[in-house]
Amino acid sequence: MNMNFKEKVLQVIAEVCEDDVVKEEHDLDIFDAGLIDSFATVELLVQFEEQLDINVPITEFDRDTWNTPNAIVDRLNELK
């Protein structure tokens, strides 16, 4: 897994959450921490498509398995 990709993903998450804490704490539950809601989730999916060219269907985005920066990077790697 290349680091470059991970950094890019973290950058996108940080932009959508409007908080750089996700770049430091990779196992932070972004839903529990109140950093992201359903509206921001959609923004995240749009950004993944536009910036990383990865298409994540809304129905694929399950809050239980896409809950931390690390988990999101893993899921995106699977879909790449």
DSSP 67-78: -SHHHHHHHHHH
- Report the candidate in 74, 75, 69 with the shortest Cα–Cα distance to residue 28: 69
Total residues at interface with another protein (CB under 8 A): 13
Should residue 53 be labelled a site residue for another protein when binding is judged by CB under 8 A?
no
By beta-carbon proximity to another protein, the closer residue of 26 and 52 is: 52
Dig out the tokens for 13 from the structure: 């998450």
Q: Show contacts with another protein in window 55-74 (CB under 8 A).
A: 57-60
The CA distances from residue 73 to 5, 19, 27, 65, in Å, are: 8, 17, 11, 11
45, 72, 73, 76: which one binds another protein (CB under 8 A): 45
Should residue 42 be labelled a site residue for another protein when binding is judged by CB under 8 A?
yes
Q: Which residues bind another protein (CB under 8 A)?
A: 37-39, 41-43, 45-46, 49, 57-60
